Structure 1
Amino acid sequence: MRRITFALMSTLAALVLLLSYRTSSGDGGMTAATVVSPARIVAQAPMITASTGPDPLSTPSGTNHPVNRTSVAPRTTPSSTTRSARPRSAPSSSSAPRTSTAPTTPTTAAPVTVQGSTEMTQYGAVQVQVTIAGHTITDVTALAYPNGGGRDQEINSYAVPDLQNQVLKAQSAQVQGVSGATYTTQGFLASVQSALDAAGFHA
């Protein structure tokens, strides 16, 4: 019984060590960001279908083109001394009232705003919000990033805008990143990728 208990405790300890092990990447074996909260969609507009409006030649069902019947003079019977007027031909099919359905354009994808996962780095949390319209990333906003100390503020004052521009230009989280701001870069891009995954976005 003691052997079984010892074996179970050893296995449990090994699992705890494996789960608590933090992967390393980047320069000098830096610790990767850890997910604190998952990505989620925060706003999505309804699908939009554009229409060019009703056909100007169409008329409501069961009605004819409006005619001011009171202004039409009654036809007189021709006298014997005048030749009868030649009968008018029937109106062509092109002048008959037509009904048609208003043409519509294809449905366009509505913009969606997604908050990426909150990634905990060695210096603090990083979270990004991404707005996507159709197949285009239209906006990238940093909701949280390390800015507690003077050094953090100095680095991220240029790193965050640079990362935003890189993602918008590449339309992807697969970008070069910012040298000297590796922790912020890791958290930022991981949060962006989680937002793109939540929205089902593929470049």
Structure 2
Amino acid sequence: MRKIAITVAATASIVVLLFSYRTSTDQTPVATARPLGGTQPSGTASPPASGPPASGDGTFTGDAADTRYGPVQVRITVAGGRITDAHAVQVPQKSGRDVRINSAAVPVLIQETLQAQSARIDTVSGATYTSEGYQQSLQSAIDAAHR
């Protein structure tokens, strides 16, 4: 009987430790800032341009992207060929859960937009649908800046 109690207690402890394990402690976004039209070090390939050109200064609103929980729409401000501001015009807000998730995810998406200067940004864990909709609408806004 004593062995069973010790085994159950040890198993419960291990389960608690596994559920509390954080898979990532690094909060630094993977995307790095790169000025549009900037030069790459020699020997590296330049990725296709997905940011707005210098001639596209102004404010541009992307198309609303439909997600499982509602539309997501992004507005960007471009100055000097760089995205200087981003704003989520629409995000899902049908429930308290939507509001909680998006109030945490949208600032991260905006920060990554400003750092990456493109729509190639990381998806925010726990806000996959919002992140994907944000990326689609952001790309649409960047495309509008190209025109």
SS of equivalent to 2:121: coil
Q: How many residues align?
A: 94
Name the TM-score, length of structure 1 as normaliser.
0.44
Report whether the alignment pairs 1:124 with 2:78.
no
- When the two chains are superposed, the root-mean-square deviation of aligned CA atoms in Å is 1.6
Report whether the alignment pairs 1:171 with 2:117.
yes
Query: Are the equivalent residues in 2 in contact too, given 1:177–1:185 (CA < 8 A)?
Result: yes
Q: 1: CA distance between counterparts of 2:139 and 2:75?
A: 11
Deviation at 1:143, TM superposition (A): 0.4
Structure 1: gaps (5+ residues): 1-107
Per-residue CA shift, 1:22-59, capped at 9, x if unaligned?
A: xxxxxxxxxxxxxxxxxxxxxxxxxxxxxxxxxxxxxx
Name the TM-score, length of structure 2 as normaliser.
0.60
Query: Are the equivalent residues in 2 in contact too, given 1:119–1:187 (CA < 8 A)?
Result: yes
Which structure: greater helix fraction?
2
Deviation at 1:134, TM superposition (A): 2.4
Deviation at 1:115, TM superposition (A): 0.5
| Higher RCO (C-alpha 8 Å, min separation 6) | 2
Q: 1: CA distance between counterparts of 2:93 and 2:110?
A: 17
Q: Which amino acid is the alignment partner of residue 143 of structure 1?
A: V
Structure 2: gaps (5+ residues): 1-53
Deviation at 1:110, TM superposition (A): 7.0
Identity fraction in percent? 49
After superposing on structure 2, the runs of 4+ consecutive aligned residues of structure 1 that deviate more than 6 Å are none
